[in-house]
Amino acid sequence: MKVGFIGLGIMGRPMAKNLIKAGHELVVCDFNKSAVDDLVSCGAKAAANGAEIAKECNVIITMVPNSPHVRAACLGEGGIIETGNENTVVLDMSSIDPTESKAIAAELAKKGIDMCDCPVSGGEPKAIDGTISVMCGGKKETFDKYYDLLMAMAGSVVYVGPIGSGNVAKLANQMVVACNIAAVAEALTFAKKAGTDPELVYQAIRGGLAGSTVMDAKAPMMLAGNYKPGFRIELHIKDLNNVLNAAHAINMPVPMAAQMMEIMQNLKTFGGEKEDHCSMVKYYERISGVSIVKED
């Protein structure tokens, strides 16, 4: 299948490479020339913008940072809408505000262009090994048609409902992940402050009800003082901002998500926005006066 791919960042680049590995023909664009060159070296064709891609491809994947970038890629100057038609389908795999997914889809529909919102979870490691989780909103028949294409990048692809539903599911995921990381960080810092080895506490509780995929992914990083980003604080802030905007639009209080936002804003204040979201532990270390990092 000939596929357009817009956005070759931390997640988009390995996802695009997995499509090439699966035998798909790609036409790609990104502001980062080195990322485009990397995909071209893998067999992709470079394009200047979404309009150029839409001339060649009926299905176009967008994987860009936030709502304004999706809007620009789809509706802006040089956007998909300029040359797309009733045969064009946009699979937006970015994580954005679901109200914007609906608005952008409505504008594309005026030209007959179909859109699904298909955000992903799993971070860079799962993007590389092709095991991300994909949550899809849009027409069920469009989802069914492109399920196999999405599975070429994923370990799980689930239909959630009409347009916007994919990003609702993604934001719910980000709420749970943020709260889970914070709970792990708080608990391990508590253990250290109480004089108990936090690594042994982690080993003791990980097999019980407190155990989780998040705990097993992030506790070892916290204990090692490894904050190399799989998912950056600044991106989680973006997602939580979308959570707050979407929740307030429907008069839904989200006090735990709001607290997670404040913790991450504190980390940003200290220059940690480029670090992995497991660095939330630094907030607890600062307010408790101890560090859980293992000593050599």
Q: Tell me 175's DSSP state.
A: H
Residues 209 and 116 in one domain: no
Residue 175 is assigned to a structural domain of this protein: yes
pLDDT tens, residue order, the chain (296 aa): 999 999 999 899 999 999 999 999 999 999 999 999 999 999 999 999 999 999 999 999 999 999 999 999 999 999 999 999 999 999 999 999 999 999 999 999 999 999 999 999 888 889 999 999 999 999 999 999 999 999 999 999 999 999 999 999 999 999 999 999 999 999 999 999 999 999 999 999 999 999 999 999 999 999 999 999 888 999 999 999 999 999 999 999 999 999 999 999 999 999 999 999 999 999 999 999 999 998 86
* pLDDT for 123: 82
Residues 155 and 199 in one domain: no
Phi, psi torsion values for 241, nearest 5 degrees: -65, -40
Task: Choose one of 142, 163, 184: the last residue of a domain.
Answer: 163
**Residue 224 belongs to domain with CATH number:** 1.10.1040.10
Task: Choose one of 163, 184, 206: the last residue of a domain.
Answer: 163
* pLDDT for 125: 86
**Is residue 61 within 8 Å of residue 119, measured between CB atoms?**
no
Residues 150 and 222 in one domain: no
Residues 142 and 19 in one domain: yes
Single-letter code of the amino acid located at 74: C
Residue 199 is assigned to a structural domain of this protein: yes
Residues 109 and 182 in one domain: no
Q: How many domains does the chain have?
A: 2
**Residue 54 belongs to domain with CATH number:** 3.40.50.720
For residue 134, the enclosing domain spans: 2-163
Closest CA to 153 of 1, 22, 5, 2: 22
Residues annotated as catalytic (active site), given as ranges: 170
Residue 109 is assigned to a structural domain of this protein: yes
Phi, psi torsion values for 120, nearest 5 degrees: -125, 160
Q: Tell me 2's DSSP state.
A: E
Q: Using alpha carbons only, what angle is made at residue 186 by residues 122 and 228, rounded to the nearest 5 degrees?
A: 40
Residue 294 is assigned to a structural domain of this protein: no
Residue 296 is assigned to a structural domain of this protein: no
Residue 293 is assigned to a structural domain of this protein: no
Q: Tell me 42's DSSP state.
A: T
Q: In angstroms, rounded to a whole number, what is the distance separating the alpha carbons of residues 139 and 165?
A: 11
Residues 6 and 130 in one domain: yes
Residues 108 and 253 in one domain: no
**Is residue 233 within 8 Å of residue 272, measured between CB atoms?**
yes
Q: What is the dihedral of CA 238, 241, 242, 247, to 10 degrees?
A: 160
Residues 28 and 143 in one domain: yes
Residues 84 and 49 in one domain: yes
* pLDDT for 162: 98
Task: Choose one of 135, 163, 191: the last residue of a domain.
Answer: 163
Residue 216 is assigned to a structural domain of this protein: yes
Q: In angstroms, rounded to a whole number, what is the distance separating the alpha carbons of residues 249 and 231?
A: 27
* pLDDT for 295: 81
Residues 185 and 129 in one domain: no
Residues 7 and 153 in one domain: yes
Q: Tell me 294's DSSP state.
A: P
Residues 47 and 109 in one domain: yes
Residue in the block written with tokens 């992914």: 217
Residue 60 is assigned to a structural domain of this protein: yes
